[in-house]
A = this chain, B = another copy of it.
Amino acid sequence: MKKSFGKKAVLYQHPALVIGSYGIDGRPNIMTASWGGICASQPPCVTVSIRKSRHSYEGIMKNRAYSVNIPSVKYIEETDIAGTWSGKDHDKFEELGLTPLKCPDVNAPYVKEFPVVLSCSLVNTVEAGSHTMFIGEITDFLADSELSGENGMPEIEKVDTFIYDTASHHYYSIGERLIRGYSAAKSK
Protein backbone atom coordinates (compact mmCIF):
# COMPACT_ATOMS: atom_id res chain seq x y z
CA MET A 1 0.00 0.00 0.00
CA LYS A 2 1.30 3.38 -0.90
CA LYS A 3 1.12 6.27 1.54
CA SER A 4 -0.95 9.34 0.68
CA PHE A 5 0.89 12.67 0.88
CA GLY A 6 -2.08 14.78 -0.22
CA LYS A 7 -2.17 17.19 -3.13
CA LYS A 8 1.47 17.81 -4.02
CA ALA A 9 2.86 19.42 -7.17
CA VAL A 10 5.97 17.23 -7.23
CA LEU A 11 7.28 15.25 -10.21
CA TYR A 12 11.03 15.24 -9.29
CA GLN A 13 12.25 15.97 -12.84
CA HIS A 14 11.41 19.66 -13.09
CA PRO A 15 13.42 21.79 -15.49
CA ALA A 16 15.00 25.09 -14.47
CA LEU A 17 13.94 27.35 -17.33
CA VAL A 18 15.06 30.97 -17.49
CA ILE A 19 12.41 32.96 -19.32
CA GLY A 20 13.52 36.10 -21.16
CA SER A 21 11.10 38.89 -22.08
CA TYR A 22 10.95 42.62 -22.58
CA GLY A 23 8.86 44.46 -20.00
CA ILE A 24 6.10 46.87 -20.95
CA ASP A 25 8.79 49.55 -20.47
CA GLY A 26 10.98 47.79 -23.04
CA ARG A 27 13.65 46.69 -20.54
CA PRO A 28 14.98 43.11 -20.85
CA ASN A 29 14.19 40.84 -17.93
CA ILE A 30 14.57 37.19 -16.94
CA MET A 31 12.73 34.97 -14.49
CA THR A 32 13.30 31.33 -13.57
CA ALA A 33 10.38 28.90 -13.88
CA SER A 34 10.09 25.17 -13.20
CA TRP A 35 6.48 24.73 -14.32
CA GLY A 36 6.90 24.13 -18.03
CA GLY A 37 7.95 21.80 -20.82
CA ILE A 38 7.40 20.75 -24.41
CA CYS A 39 3.69 20.31 -25.21
CA ALA A 40 3.67 19.48 -28.95
CA SER A 41 6.03 18.23 -31.65
CA GLN A 42 4.38 19.72 -34.73
CA PRO A 43 4.61 22.65 -34.64
CA PRO A 44 7.10 22.40 -31.76
CA CYS A 45 5.60 24.20 -28.77
CA VAL A 46 6.71 24.80 -25.21
CA THR A 47 4.64 25.90 -22.21
CA VAL A 48 5.65 27.92 -19.20
CA SER A 49 3.33 28.77 -16.31
CA ILE A 50 3.61 32.24 -14.78
CA ARG A 51 1.56 33.95 -12.08
CA LYS A 52 -0.22 37.15 -13.10
CA SER A 53 1.58 38.99 -10.28
CA ARG A 54 4.99 38.37 -11.85
CA HIS A 55 6.77 41.23 -13.60
CA SER A 56 7.23 39.08 -16.73
CA TYR A 57 3.49 38.51 -17.20
CA GLU A 58 2.53 41.82 -18.81
CA GLY A 59 5.61 42.03 -21.01
CA ILE A 60 5.02 38.59 -22.51
CA MET A 61 1.36 39.45 -23.09
CA LYS A 62 2.31 42.74 -24.79
CA ASN A 63 5.14 41.40 -26.96
CA ARG A 64 3.59 37.97 -27.62
CA ALA A 65 7.08 36.51 -27.34
CA TYR A 66 9.56 35.03 -24.87
CA SER A 67 12.79 33.07 -24.84
CA VAL A 68 13.43 29.85 -22.91
CA ASN A 69 17.06 29.82 -21.83
CA ILE A 70 18.65 26.58 -20.62
CA PRO A 71 21.29 27.36 -17.98
CA SER A 72 24.49 25.42 -17.36
CA VAL A 73 25.66 24.56 -13.83
CA LYS A 74 28.24 27.35 -14.14
CA TYR A 75 25.29 29.78 -13.91
CA ILE A 76 23.27 28.00 -11.21
CA GLU A 77 23.51 30.94 -8.78
CA GLU A 78 22.34 33.41 -11.42
CA THR A 79 19.49 31.04 -12.29
CA ASP A 80 18.44 30.75 -8.66
CA ILE A 81 18.57 34.51 -8.09
CA ALA A 82 16.57 35.15 -11.29
CA GLY A 83 13.80 33.12 -9.65
CA THR A 84 14.04 35.03 -6.37
CA TRP A 85 14.37 38.71 -7.32
CA SER A 86 11.63 40.58 -9.18
CA GLY A 87 12.23 42.62 -12.31
CA LYS A 88 10.17 45.33 -10.62
CA ASP A 89 13.07 46.00 -8.24
CA HIS A 90 16.10 44.73 -10.10
CA ASP A 91 17.77 44.95 -13.50
CA LYS A 92 18.61 41.25 -13.33
CA PHE A 93 20.73 41.18 -16.50
CA GLU A 94 22.93 44.03 -15.26
CA GLU A 95 23.13 42.98 -11.62
CA LEU A 96 23.88 39.33 -12.48
CA GLY A 97 26.46 40.23 -15.13
CA LEU A 98 24.49 38.64 -17.95
CA THR A 99 24.16 39.99 -21.50
CA PRO A 100 20.75 40.46 -23.17
CA LEU A 101 20.70 39.88 -26.92
CA LYS A 102 17.53 40.15 -29.01
CA CYS A 103 16.18 36.93 -30.50
CA PRO A 104 16.62 37.19 -34.29
CA ASP A 105 12.99 36.31 -35.04
CA VAL A 106 10.80 37.34 -32.09
CA ASN A 107 10.64 40.38 -29.81
CA ALA A 108 12.29 38.87 -26.74
CA PRO A 109 15.79 38.97 -25.26
CA TYR A 110 17.90 35.90 -24.59
CA VAL A 111 20.86 35.27 -22.30
CA LYS A 112 24.09 35.29 -24.30
CA GLU A 113 26.03 33.36 -21.66
CA PHE A 114 23.61 30.40 -21.49
CA PRO A 115 24.30 27.45 -23.83
CA VAL A 116 20.86 26.85 -25.37
CA VAL A 117 17.92 29.14 -26.17
CA LEU A 118 14.46 28.52 -27.61
CA SER A 119 12.88 31.61 -29.15
CA CYS A 120 9.12 31.45 -28.79
CA SER A 121 6.13 33.18 -30.33
CA LEU A 122 3.11 33.21 -28.01
CA VAL A 123 0.22 31.33 -29.61
CA ASN A 124 -2.16 30.68 -26.71
CA THR A 125 -2.72 31.30 -23.02
CA VAL A 126 -4.63 28.95 -20.72
CA GLU A 127 -5.78 29.79 -17.21
CA ALA A 128 -4.81 27.10 -14.69
CA GLY A 129 -5.67 28.24 -11.17
CA SER A 130 -2.73 30.07 -9.63
CA HIS A 131 -0.88 30.27 -12.94
CA THR A 132 -1.39 31.29 -16.56
CA MET A 133 0.09 28.80 -19.01
CA PHE A 134 1.84 30.47 -21.92
CA ILE A 135 1.98 28.23 -24.99
CA GLY A 136 4.71 29.32 -27.37
CA GLU A 137 5.64 28.01 -30.78
CA ILE A 138 9.38 27.39 -30.91
CA THR A 139 10.50 29.52 -33.84
CA ASP A 140 14.18 28.70 -33.42
CA PHE A 141 16.59 26.63 -31.32
CA LEU A 142 19.86 28.52 -30.80
CA ALA A 143 23.00 27.09 -29.24
CA ASP A 144 26.72 27.64 -28.99
CA SER A 145 28.21 25.72 -31.93
CA GLU A 146 31.05 24.14 -29.92
CA LEU A 147 28.47 22.09 -28.00
CA SER A 148 27.54 19.92 -30.99
CA GLY A 149 28.28 16.23 -30.77
CA GLU A 150 27.71 12.92 -32.51
CA ASN A 151 24.41 13.72 -34.27
CA GLY A 152 25.01 17.43 -34.77
CA MET A 153 22.81 18.51 -31.85
CA PRO A 154 24.32 20.06 -28.72
CA GLU A 155 25.25 17.28 -26.29
CA ILE A 156 23.63 17.23 -22.87
CA GLU A 157 27.02 16.61 -21.22
CA LYS A 158 28.36 19.84 -22.74
CA VAL A 159 25.17 21.82 -22.12
CA ASP A 160 25.69 20.69 -18.48
CA THR A 161 22.26 21.76 -17.33
CA PHE A 162 20.42 20.72 -14.17
CA ILE A 163 16.98 20.05 -12.77
CA TYR A 164 15.04 21.35 -9.77
CA ASP A 165 13.64 18.93 -7.22
CA THR A 166 10.63 20.51 -5.53
CA ALA A 167 10.50 17.78 -2.87
CA SER A 168 13.90 18.65 -1.36
CA HIS A 169 14.03 22.22 -2.77
CA HIS A 170 17.48 21.52 -4.25
CA TYR A 171 18.91 21.58 -7.74
CA TYR A 172 20.48 18.38 -9.10
CA SER A 173 22.92 17.82 -11.94
CA ILE A 174 22.25 15.47 -14.85
CA GLY A 175 23.74 12.03 -14.13
CA GLU A 176 25.04 9.28 -16.38
CA ARG A 177 23.81 8.05 -19.75
CA LEU A 178 21.44 5.08 -19.49
CA ILE A 179 19.77 3.14 -22.31
CA ARG A 180 18.72 4.54 -25.69
CA GLY A 181 15.05 5.41 -26.18
CA TYR A 182 12.98 2.84 -28.12
CA SER A 183 15.74 0.26 -27.63
CA ALA A 184 14.28 -2.00 -24.94
CA ALA A 185 11.45 -3.47 -27.02
CA LYS A 186 13.97 -4.81 -29.58
CA SER A 187 15.57 -7.06 -26.96
CA LYS A 188 12.21 -8.49 -25.87
Would A11 and B46 count as touching, CB distance under 8 A? yes
Complex CA–CA separation, A130 to B41 (angstroms): 6
Whether the pair B46, A39 counts as a contact (CB closer than 8 A) is no
A24 in the interface (beta carbon within 8 A): no
Size of interface on A: residues with Cβ below 8 Å to B: 99
Cβ proximity bits A29-63 to B, threshold 8 Å, 1 near / 0 not: 00000111111111111110100000000000000
Among candidates B3, B70, B174, B183, residue contacting A144 with C-beta atoms closer than 8 Å = B3
A164 beta carbon closer than 8 Å to chain B: yes
Assess whether A80 is in contact with B39, with CB atoms less than 8 Å apart: no
Which chain B residues border A168 with CB–CB below 8 Å?
Answer: 149-151, 153, 155-156, 177
- The digit string for A113-149, where 1 denotes a CB below 8 A from any CB of B, is 0001110000010101111010101111111110011
**Oligomeric state, in copies:** 2
B37 contacts A183, C-beta separation under 8 Å? no
Pairwise interchain contact B15-A37, C-beta atoms closer than 8 A: yes
Specify which chain B residues have a CB less than 8 angstroms from the CB of A130 in the assembled complex.
40-43
A44 proximity list for chain B (CB < 8 A): 7-9
Contact among B138, B155, B170 with A179 in the assembled complex (CB-CB below 8 Å): B170
19 contacts across the A-B interface (CB closer than 8 A): A5-B143, A9-B44, A9-B46, A11-B15, A12-B161, A13-B174, A35-B39, A37-B37, A39-B131, A40-B49, A40-B133, A47-B47, A77-B179, A84-B182, A150-B168, A156-B172, A162-B178, A170-B178, A172-B176
